[in-house]
């Protein structure tokens, strides 16, 4: 039995389903009068939903303040927002957007009560000090299906460049107070973003499932998430993108992936998300999409060297049957089915190589040296990690 003794992170109050967006003003009002609304730059406004949200807040006699996030949050972005709104007695932060918008809102809610820069509280940074968990209440509303940030306890903060980083601001209290997931918000997401964010969710499900810290609880969540994902992912990327039921399946899978990763951890793809993502400006979902097939190939190969009947290979095989829609045969064939399915998606959806974003072969040794992934399915040495990156340049 896997990890019969475990601790579970708290969950937000979760509101899931079409039409739930209309509840936001009522939910926000339970925290007070002054609401900081954080969104992306264009999509919500172009859909008309931003105007309807601000009108609903006004009609509920709430004071709203609007802040725009147009990139992955940096310390400067978070500090700037905190400086602007700290004196306005914000009662709740409400983020409506993709993973970057949710992470920015989570970080801003965590820092509004402090005078120090957020960088002092980011894991692995110089002069790091632990955050004590005090925050302004936070409501998370995803408009993409990928990161699961609506139910996790961390916000990813980055500074891209040669001395860059991509690390987390983290505390158990940073789990949002409310997560509202409305599939109707996601039907207009482009095929490219749908594919990338969906592969992020798939990566999180697979990495949490094969993590050495997986539990019966996280396994159940992952399997449920993968069932919904497998029946709707390609449809969401192609001919049924405007179907809220299809979008609901992917949104549900992303939600399950967030809960699972918070409790079981993630693997080598997300290890690279930190090291590669700090060096080059590549969207997180795209990085996951382009690395998952190759990382899975390497993990399976290394596990087979250890034990051809390794328990984690049995998990890979189970997922292989689910994603391919095949009846189980034997461990070797079923693992190969998983690999073939991931390779097929990579080819069909055209995930770009890392060199498209400026990564060079000369960068790989440095990246491998700083990449950590204690929750990966199997411990990988430097040559194995370099092979994954080399094969996806």
Within the chain, all domains assigned CATH 1.20.1090.10 are found at 191-390
Which tens digits make up the pLDDT trace of 110-148?
A: 999 999 999 999 998 888 999 999 999 999 999 999 999
Across the chain, what does the average pLDDT equal? Answer: 95
Within the chain, all domains assigned CATH 3.40.50.1970 are found at 13-185
Which tens digits make up the pLDDT trace of 70-82?
A: 989 999 999 999 9
Q: Is the pLDDT of residue 5 over 80?
A: no
Q: What is the pTM (predicted TM-score) of this model?
A: 0.95
Structural fold of domain 13-185: Rossmann fold (3.40.50)
Structural fold of domain 191-390: Dehydroquinate synthase-like, alpha domain (1.20.1090)
| Per-residue pLDDT band at 43 (split at 50, 70, 90) | confident
Long-range contacts of 49-57 (CB under 8 A, 24+ apart): 49/21, 49/96, 49/185, 50/96, 53/21, 53/24, 53/25, 53/96, 56/22, 56/24, 56/25, 57/24, 57/25, 57/28
- What is the reported pLDDT for 371? 94
Which tens digits make up the pLDDT trace of 45-60?
A: 888 999 999 999 999 9
Which tens digits make up the pLDDT trace of 353-381?
A: 999 999 999 999 999 999 999 999 999 99
Q: Dihedral sign, CA of 350, 355, 357, 363?
A: positive
| Per-residue pLDDT band at 3 (split at 50, 70, 90) | low
| Per-residue pLDDT band at 257 (split at 50, 70, 90) | very high
Q: Considering the chain, what percentage of its residues have pLDDT values greater than 90?
A: 90
């Amino acid at each position: 039995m896997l990890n019969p003794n475990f601790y579970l992170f708290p969950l937000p109050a979760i509101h899931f389903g079409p039409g739930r967006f209309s509840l936001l003003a009522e939910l926000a009002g339970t925290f007070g009068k002054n609401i900081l609304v954080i969104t992306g730059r264009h999509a919500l406004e172009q859909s008309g939903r931003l105007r309807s949200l601000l009108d609903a807040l006004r009609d509920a006699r709430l004071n709203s303040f609007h802040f725009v996030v147009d990139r992955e949050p940096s310390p400067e972005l978070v500090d700037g927002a905190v400086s602007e709104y700290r004196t306005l007695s914000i009662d709740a932060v409400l983020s409506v957007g993709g993973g970057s918008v949710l992470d920015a809102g989570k970080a801003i809610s965590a820092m509004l009560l402090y005078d120090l820069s957020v960088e002092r509280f980011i894991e692995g940074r110089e002069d790091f000090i632990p955050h004590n968990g005090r925050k302004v209440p936070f409501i998370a509303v995803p408009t993409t299906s990928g990161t699961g940030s609506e139910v996790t306890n961390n916000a990813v903060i980055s500074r891209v460049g040669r001395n860059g980083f991509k690390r987390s601001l983290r505390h158990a209290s940073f789990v949002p107070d409310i997560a509202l997931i409305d599939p109707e918000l996601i039907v207009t997401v482009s095929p490219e973003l749908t594919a990338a964010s969906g592969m992020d969710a798939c990566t999180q499900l697979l990495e949490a499932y094969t993590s050495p810290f997986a539990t019966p609880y996280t396994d159940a969540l992952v399997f449920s998430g993968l069932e919904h994902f497998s029946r709707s992912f390609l449809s969401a990327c192609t001919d049924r993108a405007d179907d809220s039921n299809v979008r609901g399946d992917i949104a549900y899978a992303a939600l399950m992936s967030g809960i699972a990763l918070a409790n079981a951890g993630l693997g080598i793809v997300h290890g690279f998300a930190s090291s590669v993502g700090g060096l080059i400006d590549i969207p997180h979902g795209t990085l996951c999409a382009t690395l998952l097939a190759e990382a899975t190939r390497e993990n399976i190969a290394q596990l087979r060297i250890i034990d051809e009947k390794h328990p984690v290979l049995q998990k890979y095989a189970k997922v292989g049957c689910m994603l391919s829609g095949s009846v189980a045969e034997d461990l070797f064939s079923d693992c190969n089915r998983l690999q073939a399915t991931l390779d097929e998606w990579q080819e069909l959806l055209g995930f770009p190589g890392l060199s498209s974003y400026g990564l060079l072969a000369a960068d790989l040794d440095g990246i491998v040296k700083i990449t950590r992934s204690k929750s990966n399915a199997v411990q990988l040495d430097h040559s194995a990690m370099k092979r994954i990156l080399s094969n996806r340049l």
